[in-house]
């Protein structure tokens, strides 16, 4: 049986439809795939990943996968991946890729190490990648809109207006994510019910939740999604119905390169152990069962899937970043690391405010109220500017210097200078952060903090080194989900 597959684009809430359609059969699709050149797979497994110190996950920006809320990186897939990388002592990096097809290509090219798209395991996909043990079992459901006046209708009247039997999809158009497993499922369903379902693919960059939103807004009538994702979105859009199952429970897993046997083994072992722990179910419930929290996020202006703001202080941060010649998202990342955007935050050592100013630093830069956001950012920025000028003679490269400045903001410039002197003494590059940070860590060892070139003594160097990597990791996430251009400034300069 033949099915028609169209293509459409979603641009600014509008849809542009192609003027022609293509008839597809399973044999024709196989012929097209056979004509494709063989995909090269990079040789990159767990040992090399451990040696470089980080693992890259290919993800999309969704309300369950990966997003930012009030400056904090969140998501079901993200939290699981973070727990896995933490167990290996690795940094987690994110490669945001909305297109599934592009994600598969990036994985095999080595631009990422794990595909984390809430992927359904299919035979077709197993030809290109290896799947981990499943971390969830979930049905696919039909996402459809309730009648416009559904709030005034009785339950049985609403039910009568909805598709409950898949047979009633014959002759209907169902819009689905490009290159998704929903296409195969609908094609199989069409065979099973003995009639055509017209399957229309979204353009590659359109994610499942964007198509769901189009159903809610009345642009299209039907789509398909995994039930857990559909139920979360039904919280946002109460006019949606997601109760009609169109499949048995399917396995949801992550994908890795077919030659990454070590990574696959480590993931499978971790997933099986993790599913025995309460933490897994806490994470799952947090994103798929906590409806009130999900609704609160989606209504917030500080939600990366719609709000467009990182914090209430974005304009202040942008003005301050210009003084430093920094990307404003980098300064925002540092402020989040310092205080979580809480102007009343106070540390156990007495640092206070958004930028956690100590009394001496506040006095030096004439900050009267450390809990005042404007004054805190002004004072913190002034101190960062002083550090930039101070380290200019040590580190000519501005990108490298920024790392030294961040470390010095955390631990004090004297300890960083000690590490620079040790680095130079032992023949490494004193202007390269990757070299200097090793000697900053060694300053907790008496053989090094008692060295004659050291002036400031003992330092728990792992803390500023971790601080720098954490700020840069947050910065990368902010870069992925927030535009680089400044938002409209509504506040005067600090």
Neighbours of 294 (CB within 10 A): 20
Active site residues: 338
Q: Is 353 left (phi over 0), alpha (psi -120 to 50) or beta?
A: left
Of 79, 122, 92, 86, nearest in space to 104 by CA: 122
- Cβ contact 25:217 at 8 Å: no
- Cβ contact 482:311 at 8 Å: no
Neighbours of 124 (CB within 10 A): 12
145 three-state secondary structure: strand
429-457 burial, b at 16+ Cβ within 10 Å, e below that, comes to: ebbebebbbbbbbbbeeeebbebeebebe
- Separation CA 402–CA 48 (nearest Å): 28
- List Cβ neighbours of 408 (8 Å cut-off, separation of 6 or more): 387, 390, 391, 415, 416, 464
Q: Which two structure tokens, joined as six digits, stand for 177?
A: 């994510």
313 three-state secondary structure: coil
DSSP string for residues in 465-478: HHHHHHHHHHHHHH
- Cβ contact 155:128 at 8 Å: no
How far apart, in Å, do the first and last CA atoms of the chain sit?
67
CA distances to 242, 253, 288, 355 from 237, rounded to whole Å, are: 11, 27, 15, 38
């Amino acid at each position: 049986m033949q099915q028609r597959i169209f293509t459409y684009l979603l641009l600014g809430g509008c849809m542009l439809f192609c003027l022609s359609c293509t008839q597809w059969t399973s044999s024709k699709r196989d012929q097209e795939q056979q004509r494709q050149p063989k995909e090269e797979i990079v040789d990159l497994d767990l040992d090399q990943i451990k040696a470089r110190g980080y693992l890259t996950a290919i993800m999309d920006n969704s309300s369950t996968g990966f997003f930012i809320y009030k400056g904090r990186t969140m998501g079901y897939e993200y939290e699981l991946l973070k727990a896995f990388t933490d167990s290996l002592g690795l940094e987690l990096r994110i490669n945001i890729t909305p297109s599934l097809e592009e994600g598969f290509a990036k994985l095999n090219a080595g631009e990422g190490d794990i595909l984390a798209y809430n992927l359904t395991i299919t035979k077709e996909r197993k030809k290109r990648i290896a799947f981990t043990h499943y971390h969830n079992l979930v049905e696919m459901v039909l996402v459809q809109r309730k009648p416009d006046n559904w709030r005034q209708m009785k339950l049985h009247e609403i039910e009568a207006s909805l598709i409950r039997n898949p047979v009633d999809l014959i002759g209907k158009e169902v819009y689905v994510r490009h290159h998704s497993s929903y296409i195969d499922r609908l094609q199989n369903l069409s065979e099973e019910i003995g009639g055509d379902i017209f399957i229309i693919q979204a353009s590659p960059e359109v994610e499942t939740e964007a198509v769901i939103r189009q159903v809610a807004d009345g642009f299209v009538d039907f789509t398909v999604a995994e039930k857990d994702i559909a139920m979360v979105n039904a919280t946002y859009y109460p006019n949606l119905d997601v109760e009609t199952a169109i499949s048995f429970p399917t396995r949801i897993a992550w994908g890795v390169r077919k030659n990454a046997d070590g990574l696959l083994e480590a993931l499978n072992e971790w997933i099986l152990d993790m599913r025995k722990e309460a933490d897994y179910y806490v994470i799952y419930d947090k994103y798929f069962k906590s409806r009130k929290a999900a609704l609160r996020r989606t209504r917030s202006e500080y939600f990366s899937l719609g709000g467009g703001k990182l914090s209430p202080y974005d304009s202040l941060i942008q003005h301050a970043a210009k003084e430093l010649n920094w990307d404003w998202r980098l300064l925002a990342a540092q402020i989040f690391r310092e205080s979580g955007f809480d102007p009343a935050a106070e540390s156990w050592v007495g640092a206070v405010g958004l930028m956690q100013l100590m009394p001496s630093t506040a006095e030096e830069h004439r900050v009267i109220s450390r809990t005042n956001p404007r004054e805190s950012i002004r004072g913190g920025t002034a101190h960062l500017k002083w550090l930039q000028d101070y380290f200019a003679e040590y580190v000519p490269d501005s990108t490298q210097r920024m790392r030294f400045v961040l470390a010095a903001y955390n631990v004090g410039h004297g300890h960083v200078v000690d590490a620079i002197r040790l680095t130079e003494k032992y023949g490494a590059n004193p202007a390269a952060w990757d070299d200097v940070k090793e000697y900053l860590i060694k300053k907790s060892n008496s053989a090094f903090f008692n060295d004659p070139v050291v002036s400031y003594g003992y330092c728990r160097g792992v803390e500023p080194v971790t601080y720098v990597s954490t700020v840069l990791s947050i910065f990368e996430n902010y870069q992925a989900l927030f535009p680089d251009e400044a938002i409209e400034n509504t506040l005067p300069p600090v």
